[in-house]
Amino acid sequence: MDKFNNIGLMDKSKLLKIFDYLNERLKENQLQLEITIYGCSVMTMVYDNRPATNDIDCIFSDQL
């Protein structure tokens, strides 16, 4: 995951690259993950009109 170090502000293109990378790793390990995005990340993904913050907040659960 070194290619995502110092990524800076995230735009739609960068977020899609991160999600693609994550998806490939999940496929390799035959895992599924549900992602829900909120706030600035939604604005960035849907409208592509501004960069998101420097992070994506996550909540992890092992329940299916």
Q: Could you tell me the residue range of the domain that residue 16 belongs to?
A: 7-64
pLDDT of 5 over the 70 cut: no
- The larger pLDDT score, comparing residue 17 to residue 45, is at 17
Integer Cα distance of 59 and 11 in angstroms? 22
Q: Is the pLDDT of residue 49 over 60?
A: yes
Q: In this structure, is residue 2 part of a structural domain?
A: no
Q: What is the mean pLDDT of residues 22-46?
A: 85
CA dist list (Å): 14 to 19, 24, 60: 9, 15, 22
pLDDT in tens, 10-33: 778 888 888 899 999 999 999 988
Does residue 20 belong to any structural domain of this protein? yes
Domains contained in the chain, number: 1
| pLDDT at residue 57 greater than cutoff 70 | no
CA torsion angle 39 10 50 36 (round to 10): -30
